[in-house]
Amino acid sequence: MKKTVLAMVSGLAIVLAGCGQSQATAPVAKKTAGPVTIVWTASPIAGLGVRKTLISLFEKSHPNIKVKLITAPTSTNTDKAALTTQISSGSATPDVYMGDVIWPAQFAHAHLALDLSHHLPSSFWSRFAPGLVQGASYKGQVYGAPFYMDSGFLYYRKDLLAKAHLPVPKTWAQLVSDSETLQKDGLVKYGFVWQGNTYEGLTCDWMEYMTDAGGTVLNAAGTKAAIDSPASLKALTFMRSLITSHVSPAAVTTFEEPQAMAVFDAGKSAFLRNWDYAWANSNSPTDSKVVGKVGVAPLPTFSASNYPGHSTIGGWNIYVNPHSQHIPQDLTFIKWITGTQAQTVLATKFSEIPTNYAVQKNPAVRKVNPVLATVSHVRLVARPSNTPIYPKVSQAIYSNINAALNGSVSPSVALKTTQTQINQAISQNGL
Amino acid sequence: MAIRVSLAHRMQRHRPTRYLVSQGWTFALPGLLIILAITIFPVLYSIFVSFNHVAITSSGFKLSWVGVRNYRTIFSNSLYQYSLVFTVIYTVVTVLVELILGMGVALVLNALSRGRGFMLALLLLPWSLVTVISAEMWSYIYNGVYGVLNAILMGVGLLNHPVTWLGTPILAIISMMVADIWKTTPFVAIILLAGLQMIAGDLYEAADIDGASAGYKFWRITVPLLRPTIALSVLFRVLQAFGLFDLPFVLTGGGPGHATESLALLGYQVMFQDLNMGRGAAIAASTTLIVLLASLVVLRVFRAQVEEGAS
Looking at residues B218-234, what average pLDDT do you find? 89
B56 pairs with which residues across the strands? B61
**Which residue of chain B is at minimal alpha-carbon distance from A407?**
B168
Is the confidence at residue A4, as pLDDT, over 80? no
pLDDT band for position A12 (cuts 50, 70, 90): very low
- As to burial, measured by CB atoms within 10 angstroms (0-12 exposed, 13-18 middle, 19+ buried), residue A25 is exposed
Residues of chain B positioned with their CB less than 8 A from the CB of A254: 143-144, 164, 166-167, 252, 256
Is the confidence at residue B111, as pLDDT, over 70? yes
- pLDDT for B279: 92
A149 to chain B, any CB pair closer than 8 A? The answer is no
- pLDDT for A14: 39
**Which residue of chain A is at minimal alpha-carbon distance from B170?**
A408
Give the span between the Cα atoms of A161 and A179, in whole angstroms: 10
Do A103 and A70 fall within a single domain? Answer: yes
Q: Is A329 among the domain residues?
A: yes
Q: Are strands A294-297 and A141-142 parallel, antiparallel or unpaired?
A: unpaired
Residues of chain B positioned with their CB less than 8 A from the CB of A251: 143-145, 162, 164, 167
Residues of chain A positioned with their CB less than 8 A from the CB of B255: 197-199, 399, 402
- pLDDT for A430: 65
Q: Are strands A96-100 and A137-138 parallel, antiparallel or unpaired?
A: unpaired
Structural domain boundaries of chain B? 74-310
| Tens-place pLDDT, residues B247-273 | 999 999 898 989 999 999 999 999 888
pLDDT band for position B21 (cuts 50, 70, 90): confident
Cβ distance of A431 and B77 shorter than 8 Å:
yes
A259 to chain B, any CB pair closer than 8 A? The answer is yes
Share of chain B above pLDDT 90, in %: 49
Is the confidence at residue A263, as pLDDT, over 70? yes
B136 to chain A, any CB pair closer than 8 A? The answer is no
Contact by Cβ (8 Å): B292, A100: no
**Which residue of chain A is at minimal alpha-carbon distance from B267?**
A431
Most A CBs within 10 A among B71, B83, B273, B276, hence the mutation to make, goes to: B273
Cβ distance of B146 and A262 shorter than 8 Å:
yes
> Distances in Å between the alpha carbon of B174 and those of A160, A308, B30, B92, B132?
39, 42, 44, 13, 18
| Tens-place pLDDT, residues A297-337 | 999 999 989 999 999 999 999 999 999 999 999 999 999 99
Is the confidence at residue A226, as pLDDT, over 90? yes
Contacts with B227 (C-beta within 8 Å, 6 or more apart), sequence order: B302, B305, B306, B309
Give the span between the Cα atoms of A184 and A181, in whole angstroms: 5
Question: What total number of domains does chain A contain?
Answer: 2
Mean of the per-residue pLDDT values for chain A? 89
Give how far A18 is from chain B: nearest CA, Å.
16
A19 to chain B, any CB pair closer than 8 A? The answer is no
Q: Which of A251, A266, A392 sits opposite B162 (nearest CB)?
A: A251
* Residue B294: how many other CB atoms lie within 10 Å: 18
Looking at residues A237-243, what average pLDDT do you find? 97
Angle at A269 between CA A250 and CA A193, to 5 degrees: 50
Q: Is A27 among the domain residues?
A: no
Chain A and chain B share a number of CB contacts under 8 A equal to: 122
- pLDDT for B300: 84
Cβ distance of B144 and A249 shorter than 8 Å:
yes
Do A163 and A138 fall within a single domain? Answer: no
- pLDDT for B237: 92
Looking at residues A193-204, what average pLDDT do you find? 95
Do A289 and A406 fall within a single domain? Answer: yes
Share of chain A above pLDDT 70, in %: 91
Residues of chain B positioned with their CB less than 8 A from the CB of A429: 73
Closest CA to A5 of B35, B186, B234: B35
Scan residues 58-87 of A and list those with Cβ closer than 8 Å to B.
77, 80-81, 84-85
Is the confidence at residue B164, as pLDDT, over 50? yes
A41 pairs with which residues across the strands? A70, A97
Looking at residues B60-76, what average pLDDT do you find? 90
- pLDDT for B13: 52
pLDDT band for position A130 (cuts 50, 70, 90): confident
Is the confidence at residue A127, as pLDDT, over 50? yes
Residues of chain B positioned with their CB less than 8 A from the CB of A12: 38
- pLDDT for B12: 53
Do A194 and A208 fall within a single domain? Answer: yes
- pLDDT for A27: 44
Cβ distance of A392 and B266 shorter than 8 Å:
no
pLDDT band for position A38 (cuts 50, 70, 90): very high
Give how far A164 is from chain B: nearest CA, Å.
25
pLDDT band for position A75 (cuts 50, 70, 90): confident
Do A141 and A232 fall within a single domain? Answer: no
Q: Which of B59, B143, B253 sits opposite A251 (nearest CB)?
A: B143
- pLDDT for A279: 93
Cβ distance of A431 and B31 shorter than 8 Å:
no
Do A301 and A225 fall within a single domain? Answer: yes
Do A131 and A171 fall within a single domain? Answer: no
Looking at residues B98-116, what average pLDDT do you find? 91
- pLDDT for B1: 44
* Residue A363: how many other CB atoms lie within 10 Å: 7
Is the confidence at residue A29, as pLDDT, over 50? no
Q: Is A290 among the domain residues?
A: yes
| Tens-place pLDDT, residues B196-213 | 998 888 888 888 888 888
Give the span between the Cα atoms of A152 and B267, in whole angstroms: 31
Cβ distance of A111 and B143 shorter than 8 Å:
no
Residues of chain A positioned with their CB less than 8 A from the CB of B143: 251, 254, 259
Domain of A111, CATH number, reads 3.40.190.10
B169 to chain A, any CB pair closer than 8 A? The answer is yes
- CATH no. for B74-310: 1.10.3720.10
Is the confidence at residue A9, as pLDDT, over 70? no
Residue A205 parent element (H or E): helix A200-213
**Which residue of chain A is at minimal alpha-carbon distance from B272?**
A81
Do A123 and A168 fall within a single domain? Answer: no
Residues of chain A positioned with their CB less than 8 A from the CB of B38: 9, 12-13
| Tens-place pLDDT, residues B32-48 | 999 999 988 988 999 99
Looking at residues A368-384, what average pLDDT do you find? 91
Do A122 and A185 fall within a single domain? Answer: no
Question: Could you tell me which residue, B179 or B307, shows the higher pLDDT?
Answer: B179
Residues of chain B positioned with their CB less than 8 A from the CB of A262: 146
Scan residues 308-347 of A and list those with Cβ closer than 8 Å to B.
322
Give the span between the Cα atoms of A224 and A239, in whole angstroms: 25
B132 to chain A, any CB pair closer than 8 A? The answer is no
Looking at residues A130-142, what average pLDDT do you find? 91
Give how far B169 is from chain A: nearest CA, Å.
8
Domain containing A43 equals 35-149+314-381
B257 to chain A, any CB pair closer than 8 A? The answer is yes
- pLDDT for B9: 52
Give how far A391 is from chain B: nearest CA, Å.
6
Q: Which of B61, B143, B253 sits opposite A198 (nearest CB)?
A: B253
Do A240 and A327 fall within a single domain? Answer: no
Cβ distance of A88 and B279 shorter than 8 Å:
no
Do A257 and A289 fall within a single domain? Answer: yes
Q: Are strands A294-297 and A96-100 parallel, antiparallel or unpaired?
A: unpaired
